[in-house]
């Protein structure tokens, strides 16, 4: 019977050794699997961040291209030329208001003047809203057109206020906000 107990004891010892080797191998595989999952998650996270940065840079580049395209459009050039012809004697290149009385007189002479002024102001409103909605790049607009924005707004400021008082209190508000963020000093009256 002692022999049987010894054999049984030896058999249990071998089984424990095999079990512990199996347990060690199993644990090592689990640890390696966990490490692989962690590295995969870190790699995926890095790829998402990289993709986000690339998308952000692409969006910024596209915004700049769209801004340049808008600035290069000459759709309002004829209108601008007509308005300059009519009102240049009142303000020239100065940043000062065209008197409302003068604007109204010109509108009485030619009803197309009102349409020209609205089209011209609407172009700048569209640009300002494009900046507000992230379509256009404000820095590019300001670097290339700051003087023009200020001049046009101030030249027609009295007319804009009249339109707000009588018809639409929100007329050209985005344009005004853009100008206010990027003000130039008004010209002194020398008249």
- pLDDT band at residue 174, thresholds of 50, 70 and 90? very high
Distances (CA, A) of 88 to 80, 94, 157, 185: 11, 9, 15, 19
- Same-domain pairing of 169 and 80: yes
- Same-domain pairing of 172 and 115: yes
- Same-domain pairing of 19 and 79: no
- Same-domain pairing of 113 and 54: no
- Same-domain pairing of 132 and 149: yes
- Same-domain pairing of 52 and 112: no
Identify whether 186 is part of a domain.
no
The three-state secondary structure class of 30 is: helix
Identify whether 111 is part of a domain.
yes
Identify whether 157 is part of a domain.
yes
Three-point CA angle 50, 53, 56, nearest 5°? 150
Identify whether 187 is part of a domain.
no
Domain C-terminal end among 43, 72, 101: 72
Domain C-terminal end among 72, 89, 119: 72
- Same-domain pairing of 54 and 81: no
Q: Locate 115 and state its tokens.
A: 């349409």
Asked whether the beta carbons of 117 and 159 are under 8 A apart, the reply is yes
Residues in the chain: 191
pLDDT in tens, 47-94: 898 888 888 887 778 777 777 777 777 667 788 888 888 888 777 777
- Same-domain pairing of 15 and 4: yes
**CA separation for the pair 151, 96 (Å, rounded):** 7
pLDDT above 60: residue 3: no
Which helix H or strand E contains 29, and what residues bound it? helix 2-72
Identify whether 14 is part of a domain.
yes
Nearest CA to 138 out of 75, 187, 180 is that of 180
Domain C-terminal end among 14, 43, 72: 72
If one compares 180 and 33, the residue with the highest pLDDT of the two is 180
Q: Give the DSSP letter of residue 134.
A: T
- Same-domain pairing of 80 and 142: yes
Identify whether 15 is part of a domain.
yes
- Same-domain pairing of 90 and 154: yes
Domain count, the chain: 2
Identify whether 191 is part of a domain.
no
- Same-domain pairing of 103 and 168: yes
Mean pLDDT rounded to a whole number for the chain: 82
- Same-domain pairing of 141 and 162: yes
Question: Among 27-41, 53-67, 97-111, which stretch is predicted with the lowest mean pLDDT?
Answer: 53-67
Range of the domain at 91: 75-181
């Amino acid at each position: 019977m002692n022999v049987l107990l010894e054999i049984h004891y030896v058999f249990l010892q071998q089984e424990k050794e095999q079990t512990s080797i199996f347990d060690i191998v199993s644990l090592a595989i689990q640890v390696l699997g966990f490490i692989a999952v962690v590295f995969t998650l870190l790699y995926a996270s890095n790829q998402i961040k990289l993709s986000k940065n690339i998308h952000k840079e692409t969006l910024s580049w596209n915004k700049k291209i769209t801004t340049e395209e808008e600035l290069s459009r000459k759709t309002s050039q004829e209108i601008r030329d007509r308005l300059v012809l009519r009102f240049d004697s009142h303000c020239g290149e100065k940043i000062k208001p065209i008197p409302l009385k003068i604007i109204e007189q010109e509108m009485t002479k030619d009803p197309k003047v009102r349409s020209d002024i609205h089209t011209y102001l609407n172009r700048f409103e569209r640009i300002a809203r494009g900046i507000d909605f992230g379509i256009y790049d404000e820095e590019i607009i300001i670097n290339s057109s700051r003087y023009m924005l200020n001049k046009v707004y101030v030249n027609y400021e009295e007319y804009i206020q009249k339109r707000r008082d009588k018809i639409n209190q929100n007329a050209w508000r985005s344009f005004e906000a853009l100008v206010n963020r990027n003000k130039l000093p008004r010209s002194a009256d020398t008249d």
